[in-house]
Amino acid sequence: MLNERRNLLTAEQFAEVILNHLTSSQGKDPEHASIYDWRMALSLALRDQVIRPWFASTRTTYEAEAKRVYYLSMEFLVGRLIEDVATNLRAEDVAAAAMRSLGQDYGQVVRDEPDAALGNGGLGRLAACFMDSLATLGIPAYGYGIRYEHGLFEQHFKDGQQIETAENWLTQRYAWEFERPEVRYEIGFGGTVEKSGQTSKWIPAETIIASAYDTPVVGWNGLWANTLRLWAAKPVKVFDLDSFNRGEYLAASELEALARTISRVLYPDDTSEAGKELRLKQEYFFTAASIKDILRRLDSEGRVVRDLPQRVAIQLNDTHPAIAGPELVRLLVDERKLEMENAIDIARGCLGYTNHTLLPEALERWPEPIFKRVLPRHLEIVREIESAHLKASGSPVRILEDGDVKMGELSFIMAHKVNGVSALHSDLVRETVFEQLNRDYPDRILNQTNGITPRRWLHNCNPDLRILINDTIGTGWPADLEQLEKLVPHAQDAGFLEAFKAVKAKNKVRVANWLKSHHYIAVDPDAMFDAQIKRIHEYKRQLMNLLETVALWNEIRDNPNADWVPRVKIFGGKAAPGYVVAKQIIHLINDVAAVINADPQVKGLLKIVYPENYNVSMAELLIPATNLSEQISTAGNEASGTGNMKFALNGAPTIGTLDGANVEIRERVGAENFFLFGLTAAEVVERRKQQNYSAAAIAVSQRLSRALEQIENGVFSPGDPDRYQGLVQDLRQKDYFLVTCDFDDYFAAQRRVDSAYADQDSWTRMAVLNTARVGWFSSDRTIADYAKDIWNAHSLIGGARQPKGEVP
Ligand code: OX2
């Protein structure tokens, strides 16, 4: 029955659908169609195929009276969708053949799609992986977020420095979405609260419209489709004719411009707080619209609000949607006339909160005056929530403290479950930020280690490895990734190792060609590709990687005839525009690259490449071609990491610290297949208590001293020798992230990597075992566990954890 949901078209039939869209939707004939027209036609043809499972899923959910999951996230870092949709529909061959028959280059059309970059990094990409897994598992779900007009900024380098320009994905039509002009809610801000007796009524000063855009998200095998509903801000009154008639043309459109500001841009901060009123408005805007939408659906199904916890699971992706708690309580109390405590309990029954970071600067706090100005009634409700909590638990922990509204505490208190994103991180959540609250509510915190979707991050991005794996263990693994374990015995098989190595080599050639044609850099595909691609942040320690590169450069020049293992160090990543140190690190990477890459003495042995504008699509290209994955954050700082999982899955062993999910990756792949170094999280805490720890570490390391001196003396910035004095001074005097303390151990681990890589057979075996043993990190497993432990939601496509087996 379920398979009937998919429309199985032949290539010929599909070509006809594409042609129809080219003419009817794009208004072009094949002679005049641009690549954009072809891409739109192909995307719309694919979207057509999603409609049947989408409708069927909605109907099934309704009939089963099933609980729905609502994933509220400020960010969805979706990337491109053509391949994703085509493969999930199992129509990739049909789509490619159809395009070929129409004289089009399928791959080129696929690559024409701009990334939907509605996120900064791991948090947003996790949300996108979760959407894929929710649909694959057949769990009824909505993703709710913001339809930003401008996604994450585009990064350019000018004289080695990061320049940001606006991203404009919506200048072209977005093929995947459906505008829903009828789904609109008024969202208020500011104003006053009117009291009469026991009742309160919020009278906002300003109102804007949240208008829905829906993108269907189809799961593997096309058995189920959910909805990603993104809200765009629109004015209540589009145009002021009176102003216009008075000749005030700008004023006539002012209302519209102001309202649209709310969904104009994605804040480009990753793991740091944006203390802006506009950000608070964005958070309230999408959260309030989502909550209203959830209640409207409940009403339309003839349910009462008491049923909410049975019908609705709302997951808060970090604290950004934390206002969901007070908003839901407000609607229940002020509009549905429930008692306050009852309303709080009902809201808590629905809410779960995921914490993604312990960095103090990233724990959102809003100054009370701002909060009150924007959300006066919510501030009162937060007070009620706080006093109910104080009364029930006797806890000393407050939500309102030092003049701030603390969103972490609010989220914790309003959620029935709170989860961290790796085992280590969840332990630290219990022991640090929420230590007291964990004592007050001992069963509330749990762990849900992150995962990644194997469809995008292996099946689609690494087609040659996919084929090799299919040929070796069959095709069940994309929906049941732990089947990769069946590869373990093949790690002893010379033929398999050869084939695995050949896949990696081919992927490296692909990257080398791309670097040459797009970035005008020549790299040797036979060199080891060592990659650190992620946001630029001090705690992620790109600086330590760079210092090691400088030290290696010195060593090679000192001993040019030694047996060096040729390396290409690949960096990729953006810095938040306001994060000065991160931008200096970018500048330094480019400066060091310019000097080292021009040095004839290390030619062929060491090269640094830093392609600009790292994004999801670039990750899909680089990860399959990487030999060594750099996961070198200061222990205790990277909540999980998900890039670490993607690299391991694609056969790149990790050099890394015991941080985030590295710990669990190492446990699974085996310590012998992981290059460990560095202080543990507990040691980091101890080290930070010592005096002058960085000076002490530098004093005992000649290599490090030399590299630091070179940087501060302008060896890499001869035209501006003082450029990096501040950066180096900080390492000498403070070095909060312990770059200097871990440096020697890191350098030594890199040399272990060199020797291991020199034995290509054993290296490939290690790579295979990484791929074979990380199946547990599928986001299908993560989502199945959220469904069981937090949401009490169920798959409607069979009782199994994953839909297994082949599609005929
Ligand atoms: C990131 C975390 O830094 C990263 O470690 C984690 O893997 C990812 O979230 C998904 O859980 N913003 N981004 C993150 O946290 C915050 C806040």
CATH number at residue 478: 3.40.50.2000
Query: What pLDDT sits at residue 695?
Result: 98
The answer to whether 336 is a known catalytic residue is no
Q: Is 475 inside a domain boundary?
A: yes
Query: What pLDDT sits at residue 2?
Result: 45
Arithmetic mean of pLDDT, 297-320: 97
Residue 360 identity = P
Q: Residue 731 above 50 pLDDT?
A: yes
The answer to whether 356 is a known catalytic residue is yes
d(CA 420, CA 76): 19
d(CA 572, CA 187): 39
Position in ligand 1 atom list of the atom nearest CA 638: 5
Q: Residue 155 above 80 pLDDT?
A: yes
Structure tokens at 732: 């000498």
Structural domain harbouring 699? 454-777
639 CB within 6 A, ligand 1? yes
Contact (CB, 8 A) for 737 and 747:
no
Position in ligand 1 atom list of the atom nearest CA 359: 17
d(CA 333, CA 331): 6
Q: 379-395, pLDDT tens digit by residue?
A: 999 999 999 999 999 99
Arithmetic mean of pLDDT, 317-341: 98
The answer to whether 535 is a known catalytic residue is yes
Q: 330-379, pLDDT tens digit by residue?
A: 999 999 999 999 999 999 999 999 999 999 888 999 999 999 999 999 99
Q: Residue 807 above 90 pLDDT?
A: no
Structure tokens at 443: 């069963």
What DSSP line would sit under 373-429, residue for residue?
HH-HHHHHHHHHHHHHHHHHH-----SEETTEEEHHHHHHHH-SEEEESSHHHHHHH
Q: 252-299, pLDDT tens digit by residue?
A: 888 888 889 999 999 998 777 888 899 999 999 999 999 999 999 999
Q: Please check whether residues 220 and 311 belong to one and the same domain.
A: yes
Q: Please check whether residues 162 and 136 belong to one and the same domain.
A: yes
Side-chain half-sphere of 275: how many Cα atoms within 13 Å?
Answer: 12
List 356, 389, 416, 765, catalytic entry: 356
Query: What pLDDT sits at residue 139?
Result: 98
Q: Please check whether residues 353 and 477 belong to one and the same domain.
A: no
641 CB within 6 A, ligand 1? yes
Longest Cα–Cα distance of the chain, Å, equals 88
317 CB within 6 A, ligand 1? no
Q: Is 57 inside a domain boundary?
A: no
Structure tokens at 406: 């603390």
Q: Please check whether residues 458 and 441 belong to one and the same domain.
A: no
Q: Residue 135 above 90 pLDDT?
A: yes
Q: Is 229 inside a domain boundary?
A: yes
Q: Is 47 inside a domain boundary?
A: no
What confidence category does residue 769 fall into, taking pLDDT thresholds of 50, 70 and 90? very high
d(CA 771, CA 488): 9
Helix axes 760-773, 739-758, angle to 10 degrees: 110
Position in ligand 1 atom list of the atom nearest CA 362: 17
Q: Please check whether residues 445 and 497 belong to one and the same domain.
A: no
Tell the residue number behind the tokens 């490939």, with chain if given.
764
What confidence category does residue 803 fall into, taking pLDDT thresholds of 50, 70 and 90? very low
Q: Residue 801 above 90 pLDDT?
A: no
Q: Is 17 inside a domain boundary?
A: no
Q: Is 91 inside a domain boundary?
A: no
Instruction: List all residues 6 or more positions away from 291 whose beta carbon is below 8 Å from its beta carbon.
Output: 314, 324, 327, 328, 331
Q: Residue 1 above 70 pLDDT?
A: no
Q: 664-681, pLDDT tens digit by residue?
A: 999 999 999 999 999 999
Question: What is the Å distance from ligand 1's center to 339 Cα?
Answer: 37
List 540, 569, 587, 723, catalytic entry: 540
Q: Residue 312 above 80 pLDDT?
A: yes
Query: What pLDDT sits at residue 569?
Result: 98
Q: Please check whether residues 419 and 540 belong to one and the same domain.
A: no
Q: Please check whether residues 477 and 427 belong to one and the same domain.
A: no
Q: Residue 804 above 80 pLDDT?
A: no
Position in ligand 1 atom list of the atom nearest CA 425: 5
Q: Residue 27 above 70 pLDDT?
A: yes
Q: Which of 129, 130, 271 to mutate to test the pocket of ligand 1 (most atoms within 8 A of CB)?
A: 271
Instruction: List all residues 6 or more positions away from 356 whose beta carbon is below 8 Å from its beta carbon.
Output: 122, 123, 271, 317, 318, 421, 639, 640
Query: What pLDDT sits at residue 4?
Result: 53
d(CA 396, CA 291): 30
Q: Please check whether residues 284 and 390 belong to one and the same domain.
A: yes
123 CB within 6 A, ligand 1? yes
User: How high is the ipTM of this complex?
Assistant: 0.99
Q: 484-499, pLDDT tens digit by residue?
A: 999 999 999 999 999 9
Query: What pLDDT sits at residue 362?
Result: 87
Arithmetic mean of pLDDT, 163-183: 97
Arithmetic mean of pLDDT, 756-773: 98
The answer to whether 646 is a known catalytic residue is yes
Ranges of H-type helices in 605-672? 616-622, 643-649, 662-669
Q: Is 23 inside a domain boundary?
A: no
User: C-alpha distances in angstroms, 135 versus 26, 208, 479, 587?
Assistant: 29, 32, 11, 42
d(CA 44, CA 381): 45
Contact (CB, 8 A) for 416 and 441:
no
List 227, 642, 657, 740, catalytic entry: 642
Q: Domain tally for the chain?
A: 2
Q: Please check whether residues 491 and 431 belong to one and the same domain.
A: no
The answer to whether 158 is a known catalytic residue is no
Q: Please check whether residues 306 and 159 belong to one and the same domain.
A: yes
Percent of the chain with pLDDT over 70: 98
User: C-alpha distances in angstroms, 518 versus 511, 515, 533, 568, 626?
Assistant: 10, 5, 18, 17, 18
Residue nearest to atom 16 of ligand 1 (CA): 271
Structure tokens at 339: 């008692």
Q: Please check whether residues 430 and 487 belong to one and the same domain.
A: no
Q: Is 34 inside a domain boundary?
A: no
127 CB within 6 A, ligand 1? no
Mean pLDDT of the chain: 96
Residue nearest to atom 12 of ligand 1 (CA): 271
The answer to whether 516 is a known catalytic residue is no
Closest residue by Cα to residue 386 from 376, 377, 396: 396
Q: Please check whether residues 659 and 564 belong to one and the same domain.
A: yes
Q: Residue 249 above 90 pLDDT?
A: no
Tell the residue number behind the tokens 């970035």, with chain if given.
519
Structure tokens at 402: 């030092």
Q: 233-245, pLDDT tens digit by residue?
A: 999 988 888 888 9
Query: What pLDDT sits at residue 231?
Result: 98
